[in-house]
Chains A and B, each alone.
Chain A
Amino acid sequence: MDKIKVAVIGPGNIGSDLMYKIFRSKYLEMGMMAGIIESEGIKRASSHGIAVSTEGVQAVARQKDIKIAFDATSAAAHLKVNGPALKAAGIVSVDLTPAAVGPYCVPCVNLDSLKDEPNINMVTCGGQATIPIVYAIERAAGAAYAEIVACISSMSAGPGTRANMDEFTETTSKALEVVGGADKGKAIIILNPAEPPPMMTNTIMVRVKNPAVGIEKITASINAIVNEIQAYVPGYHVRVPPILEGDKVTAIVQVEGQGDFLPAYSGNLDIINAAAIAAAEKIAERMLRGRGAS
């Protein structure tokens, strides 16, 4: 079957994990790994027979057959350099930085409405893990306020995350509203250095508008969305099933990574990458159908 050629920009932990996920994809083919310096990630890609470049996005833009590029660099790089260059080259951006040039994408919630966008943003790891639950609660009982606490192991928080804590909380809070549907969102992130590293755990608390709907309907709505997430994040599961107290719904979910490149405790990195792949596959499917028709 035909596949769509893609590139990964930023050969760090995220970029390397993306590469292994692309190797498994039915719709995507790894066309290039691009960085700006010689690095372990570049060598790793090269050892798998993948074309590599240290000229960054410019090298990607010159490849006529690359249709989609994952940006795993930084918000500043996406805003100033990579985003504009990809746009000029007619390559779809799947943006894993907090730049948020394009609309937020949480695959199980809004992917269908975004498949024609030239640039989509993958929010944050905590957003990917919690927004579906907020959305599921909202569609069942309304959401006046949604609050999430994402706890990730210190080992899985790289220098980018550490230097940008505010971007995490602000982007996630906003996406809880825009994608999750809550009137007001609040996000909290905690790093825990325990050994062995704990799995990514997320607590979701929502003040619902119609508590009379009852916990059964809310739980059913959550279970349905969990099934959809598990299609692209197999290690996603509910740790504490929804509890309704007054107008407050609480649920706790855990994300175990697939261990493609990063260890299983890095569920935070796994889920944003898995979401990015799911989004790219949807776009690729549309492109392939377009080809078939021509």
Chain B
Amino acid sequence: MTKKINLVDTTLRDGSHAIKHSFTKEQAASIARGLDRCGVPLIELSHGDGLGGSSFTYGFSKANEFELLKAAGEQIKNSKLTVLLLPGIGTIEDLKRAYEHGARAVRVATHVTEGDVSEQHIKASKDMGMMAVGFLMMVHMASPERIAVEARKMESYGADYINLADSAGYLLPDGVRDRINAVRGAVRIPVGFHAHNNLGMAAANSLAAVKAGATYIDATLRGLGAGAGNTQMEVIAGVLQRSGYDTGVDFYGLMDHAQEAAEPLMLRPQVIDNGSLMLGYAGVYSSFLLHVYDAAEKYDLEPRDIMVELGRRKMVGGQEDMIIDVAYQLTRSR
């Protein structure tokens, strides 16, 4: 029997970083419609930093995310409309509004060692009848054993599956395999994986995750996402098909959809430029990339130097505000 793998599209969430949170209602509707037709089971949409992310710190959204959810939701027949929520940024009030606008699943994301801050939000989403995913970010920063402990906490709050995110695109396949194995050994619920392509490993790491037993894989059309982007949806669909897994998606349909709906709105080709490479190399949160470029220009610094310092300081997801601090301190020390 071929194993079923659930592809989770996050073009309308992680992809939001790459286009500076400028999705329009029409774009959200068109992307969601195509994904639904191609049989993608989960479609994630929100500000790149999750519900409530629209801000000075992370960038203001061009369109209200609840209106985007409504526009996307109206086009979806079979997929589950999903949102991301980072406790400390988004709130249960935001989640309730997202539900009213069509969201039926939520991924509650915390730094890899801070799983307990998700308790309030996972429990609230289960009370609302939503699917809830425990989403651990920056998994390269913790040992497999520690990740297993945090995953167990999220399972105890009611999570339906655990997603491990290599938010910095730092891991190599062995590191992915060890982490998936550790979590699978610790929880009874399914496990998923979210990659970034900063070291060119996104598809390979996603395949390694699947081989270690992950059954949910995040991807985006054309790889649109923070840093060098995510696992490319149409690529992983082909790779998994060739490897003998059943994703239930329309491979050709996704290729066409990527070309027609995602490619035209990209601000730049989703290649591994030097900044993205440094994110993966130094272990820095991928969505810092464009903010680092802005700060480097403003302070006349090398983006690389800012990245290395951010990595040295062990900044976690959501600390975009510290890019200015690092740039300022580097300027003073030169």
Contacts and interface: CB of A to CB of B under 8 A. Distances in A.
Interface string B303-320: 000000000011110110
Nearest to B298: A245
B117 interface: yes
Chain A interface helix/strand/loop/mixed: strand
A191 B91 contact: no
A139 interface: no
A201 B322 contact: yes
A151 B315 CA distance: 10
A50 interface: no
B131 interface: no
B114 interface: yes
A183 B92 CA distance: 23
A162 B319 contact: no
B87 to A, nearest CB: 4
B91 A162 contact: no
Contacts of B91: 165-166, 169-170
A16 interface: no
Give the interface size bracket for B toward A: 20 to 34
Given A188-B318, A203-B321, A193 B56 contact: no
Interface residues of A, number: 32
Contact of A192 (B92, B93, B116, B315): B315
Contact of A240 (B56, B121, B313, B325): B325
Interface in B51-107: 55-57, 87-89, 91-93
Nearest to B58: A188
B325 A201 contact: yes
A50 B70 CA distance: 60
A193 B319 contact: no
Interface string A196-236: 00100101010100000000000000000000000000000
A194 B229 CA distance: 26
A184 B55 CA distance: 12
B324 interface: yes
B87 A252 contact: no
A240 B326 CA distance: 10
A46 interface: no
A129 B314 CA distance: 23
B114 A252 contact: no
B322 A151 contact: yes
Contacts of B318: 149, 188, 190
A163 interface: yes
A191 B88 contact: yes
Given A191-B111, A192-B314, A165 B328 contact: no
A166 B87 contact: yes
Contact of B328 (A162, A186, A240, A248): A240
Contact of A186 (B55, B111, B313): B55
Contacts of B324: 203, 240, 243, 250, 252
Interface of A: 147, 149, 151, 154, 159, 162-166, 168-170, 186, 188-194, 198, 201, 203, 205, 207, 239-240, 243, 248, 250, 252
Interface of B: 55-57, 87-89, 91-93, 111, 113-114, 116-117, 119-121, 313-316, 318-319, 321-322, 324-325, 328
Given A163-B119, A165-B87, 4 more contacts: A154-B113, A166-B93, A188-B89, A193-B114
14 contacts: A149-B318, A149-B321, A154-B114, A159-B116, A165-B88, A166-B92, A186-B55, A188-B55, A188-B57, A190-B316, A191-B316, A192-B314, A192-B319, A240-B324
